[in-house]
Amino acid sequence: MTEVRNNWTIEEIAEIYHSPLLDLVYRAATIHRENKDYAEVQISSLISIKTGGCPEDCAYCPQAARYNTGVDVHALMPLHEVVMAAQRAKDGGASRLCMGAAWREVRDNRDFDKVLEMVKAVNSMDMEVCCTLGMLTENQAQRLADAGLYAYNHNLDTSEDDYKRIITTRTYDDRLKTLEHARKAKLTVCSGGIIGLGETEEDRISMLKTLSNLPKHPESVPINALVPVKGTPLADQPRVSVWEMVRMIATARIIMPRTVVRLSAGRTEMTTLEQAFCFMAGANSIFAGDKLLTTPNPAFSDDMAMFELLGLKPREAFKNGRPNEVKEVREMSINEVIG
């Protein structure tokens, strides 16, 4: 069984990343097959519970208020709509629902109280619940955990050296502190990055080093390919090739052997054959459903057909155990919430 390490060097990761592609994929696939459930793929569904109007300046994001991208601003989604979206996702095969809000940070207000109710409701549906809400304090992370949150997503996006070119409204350290707060609340951590931002291969390797040398590896690492959006500063960036995605996935699999590696944004541009290469390289999670927040994504039915062809099967919820027992939460049926 491959050893889990938290002391990778840049040189070691670079040697892995730059190895001949087929050798790299073979090594990653061999490590991936040490897991007896290697054919299982976690299916997550991502919904935007509060869209647009974000004060941040992330150069890739169509939800930033300062960019004219045609994204309509929507207030926080009502609870019953979240529950219905969760049920559609579950019916489509998803075991996890990730709720994203275009906030810079969580604030202790009525909207956060409503998010906590959403977490409780989806948790009661026997689905893993993930949130991506921006920066949060240790106390806010604990409140989410007490409501039944399973995972918190906060991506590093790129390397620390490249970060200021992409985002100036928060620091790299801010992101790491949020991950630390999630850990202290005993939430599982979902954190990865985006390739195709104009970064160098050294930046990609540096980001992977940061993730793999955290005190505990993230339970989920999403690898995203930039989806350029008109109106953002990165609108004219060329799309990355599938082989760059395969290199990132395979390297992540080798240096973080127990982590769920998610083939995330950019799948709409990939053929089934190209996605199969990503699964061979160690990807074992996808986002399913027709949208990722505001960008297109393959439909559930297309993914199920691909799974059947490739001999993959959906991973059940809570495969690695349930989160801390929800405190003072009354079980709610779907009918109660909608009614």
> Please, is 179 exposed, middle or buried when counting C-beta atoms within 10 Å of its C-beta (0-12, 13-18, 19+)?
buried
In this predicted structure, the answer to whether residue 166 has a pLDDT above a threshold of 70 is yes
The whole-number pLDDT of residue 14 equals 98
Torsion, CA 172, CA 174, CA 175, CA 177, rounded to 10: 130
**Residue 54 assigned as binding residue:** yes
Q: Is 131 a catalytic residue?
A: no
Rounded to whole angstroms, how far apart are CA atoms 176 and 135? 10
- CA-CA-CA-CA torsion sign (217, 283, 233, 61): negative
Q: Please state which of the ranges 145-149, 222-226, 302-306 shows the lowest mean pLDDT.
A: 302-306
Report the pLDDT value the prediction gives residue 303, as an integer from 0 to 100. 85
Provide the phi-psi class of 126: left if phi over 0, else alpha when psi is between -120 and 50, else beta: left
Q: Domains (ranges, CATH) in the chain?
A: 10-314 (3.20.20.70)
**Residue 130 labeled ligand binder:** yes
pLDDT of residue 325: 45
Please give the pLDDT value at position 338. 47
d(CA 219, CA 320): 10
Higher pLDDT, 32 or 328: 32
The amino acid at 111: D
CA atoms of 211 and 263, how far apart (whole Å): 16
Active site annotation includes 258: no
The strand ranges marked E within 119-200 are 128-132, 151-153, 188-190, 193-195
Catalytic residue among 183, 190, 267, 278: 190
Annotated catalytic residue 54: yes
Annotated catalytic residue, options 130, 143, 253, 315: 130
Please check whether residue 212 is in contact with residue 206, taking contact to mean a CB–CB distance below 8 angstroms.
no
**113 three-class SS:** helix
The C-alpha atoms of residue 293 and residue 63 are separated, in whole angstroms, by: 9
Question: Which residue pairs, CB below 8 angstroms and at least 24 apart, start in 321-328?
Answer: 322/150, 323/123, 323/145, 323/148, 323/149, 323/150, 323/186, 323/187, 323/188, 324/145, 324/146, 324/186, 326/120, 326/123, 326/146, 326/147, 326/148, 327/146, 328/146
Q: What percent of the chain has pLDDT over 90?
A: 67
Confidence of residue 75 (pLDDT cuts 50, 70, 90): confident
CA distance 134 to 149: 15
pLDDT band at 329 (very low <50, low <70, confident <90, very high): very low
- Inter-axis angle of helices 21-32 and 242-255, nearest 10: 40
CA distance 161 to 5: 23
Listed residue (151, 91, 103, 165) closest to 123, CA to CA: 151
Say whether 278 counts as a known binding-site residue: no
The pLDDT, as a whole number, for residue 334 is 45
Cα 147 from Cα 180, distance rounded (Å): 19
CB 100 within 8 A of CB 48: yes
Burial class (CB in 10 A: 0-12, 13-18, 19+), 205: buried
Q: Which residues fall within 8 angstroms of residue 269, CB to CB, at 6 or more apart? A: 225, 239
Q: Based on the residue annotation, tell me whether 278 is a catalytic residue of this protein.
A: no
Is the per-residue pLDDT at 90 higher than 60?
yes
Q: What is the pLDDT of residues 262-306, one digit of tens each?
A: 998 888 888 999 999 999 999 999 987 654 445 555 677 888 889
For the chain, the C-alpha Rg in angstroms (whole number) is: 19
Max avg pLDDT among 49-53, 83-87, 205-209, 283-287: 205-209
Q: Which of 179-183, 214-218, 220-224, 327-331 comes out lowest in average pLDDT?
A: 327-331
pLDDT band (50, 70, 90) for residue 322: confident
pLDDT of residue 339: 47
CB atoms within 10 A of CB 3: 5
Annotated ligand binding at 58? The verdict is: yes
Residue at token pair 């707060």: 181
Q: CA 248 → CA 21, 106, 152, 229, distances in Å?
A: 11, 31, 22, 22
Is residue 132 over pLDDT 50?
A: yes
Q: Which candidate in 96, 98, 175, 278 is catalytic?
A: 98
Q: Check whether 98 is labelled as a binding-site residue.
A: yes
Q: Which of 27, 58, 131, 204 is catalytic?
A: 58
In the predicted structure, residue 256 carries a pLDDT above the cut 80: yes
